[in-house]
Structure 1
Amino acid sequence: MITSQIPTLHYFNGRGRAETSRVLFVVAGVEFNDVKNPFDNAEIKQRATYKQLPYLIDGDFEISQSIAIENYIANKYNLAGDSLVDRTRILSIAQASYDISIPIFTNDTDEKKALYKNETLPRFLSAWEKILTENGGKHFVGSKLSAADVSAYTTLENLYSKNYKEVVDKYPTLTNFKSTFEAIPSISDYLSKRPKDLFF
């Protein structure tokens, strides 16, 4: 049953652009309604600001656009860093996550796929490896878990699921980070219960 006392996240039956928000809620230990709508659910799309999902309803507050939703959750539940510099670095990781992920769905030629695998992806992952290593290897920003770690994790997991594991595994600090993140008890529990037949 959906209640108005807890946040409601609307998306489709897939990971896609809602998975980072879901994992943020899990990391924060916050109960939320994870509503997986059919693709043809016009009613909820019409309610959403831009007529598309994801779409978050939290009491009287409603917001669309995935990065905005992620930023809202992070700020509300103390996952957004402790300073302006931290918050800016966290946002940089989030935006890089989308630069990494979007081409997976738009590479429609062998040439584009090769360019992504051999140039684009290594460029971003090399930068992440450097950022993570220089920050001690455990967290991307600061000395505690933040939305940057969640953004990076869901992106790395997506790369694994889209057959780019061999590329990611060239970066030992990133692969160790991924394994360590998955060992967090709340994340391990979430992953064990997450549907296995997601479209994305």
Structure 2
Amino acid sequence: MTKPTLTYFPVRGRVQFPRCLLEYLGEEYNFNEVKTISDDLRKQLLFKQLPLYQEGDFKIVQTPAIIDYISEKHDFRGKTKEERARAHQCLAGIMEVLDHCLGYSFKMDKQQQEKFRNESPIKKFFEGFEMVLSQNKYLASGEKETYVDLMAFVMVDYVTNLGLMPSGDYPKLISLKKHYESSPQLKKYLESRPQSNF
């Protein structure tokens, strides 16, 4: 089997979602770090954006699509169509959180960060995830974890790193974060990943 390659910049950004997924599932992959998007690379990108996932002749862009493909390969999307739909629903929410944070984090001083946390546009998503986890063990509401539980960890970890955690109590999400932080599969990557603010 061809070892897949992920191409992205030397930051956490969007690629940390599929990277954590590959690490957790134990699939070996190559990471192609680039500083800029060259003309040759741009020709390979459907929407002229990274990350890029490549497996032999197969190439795909857009973080949710990459996550879905990897999860499908490893039967990590949910057992039933209802579970898969709920997982996809939560992933869409996670991507909205990411978009909000990437859009604001570069422009904020500490006072603006505090205002963001108190009036946070991502608060409703955290409350929604917390509600699901207070009623079910997993976000897809099935008997086993799916990719979206891991993606929720990456989201909480990322928002915490940016200093943009919304005000409020989220014990279930914090517990989820601690669970994956202590995972042997993720430990090496989490300790060696880029120390970036985005």
Please give the TM-score of this superposition, normalised by the length of structure 1: 0.86
**In 2, Cα distance between the equivalents of 1:120 and 1:15?**
22
> Structure 2: where are the runs of 5+ without partners?
none
Cα deviation per residue 1:48-97 (whole Å; 9 max; x = unaligned)? 22221111111221111111111101111111111111111111111101
Aligned to 2:95: 98
**In 2, Cα distance between the equivalents of 1:184 and 1:8?**
23
Q: Tell me which amino acid in the other structure corresponds to 2:21.
A: L
Residue 186 of structure 1 pairs with residue 185 of structure 2: yes
Alignment size in residue pairs: 193
**In 2, Cα distance between the equivalents of 1:73 and 1:124?**
24
The secondary structure found in structure 1 opposite 2:67 is helix
Pairwise CA RMSD of aligned residues? 2.3
Moved over 6 A (4+): 109-113
- 1:11, 1:18 within 8 Å by CA — same for their partners in 2? yes
Q: Within 5 Å, give how 1:36-51 maps onto structure 2.
A: 36-51=33-48
Over the matched positions of the two proteins, sequence identity in percent amounts to 25
Aligned to 2:162: 162
What is the Cα deviation at residue 165 of structure 1?
4.0
Please give the TM-score of this superposition, normalised by the length of structure 2: 0.87
Cα deviation per residue 1:134-161 (whole Å; 9 max; x = unaligned)? 113xx32223231111221111011111
- 1:133, 1:173 within 8 Å by CA — same for their partners in 2? yes
Higher RCO by CA contacts (8 Å cutoff, separation 6 or greater): 2
Of 73, 81, 85, which aligns to 1:84? 81
> Structure 1: where are the runs of 5+ without partners?
none
Tell me whether 60-69 or 108-117 shows the greater mean CA deviation. Answer: 108-117
The secondary structure found in structure 1 opposite 2:167 is helix
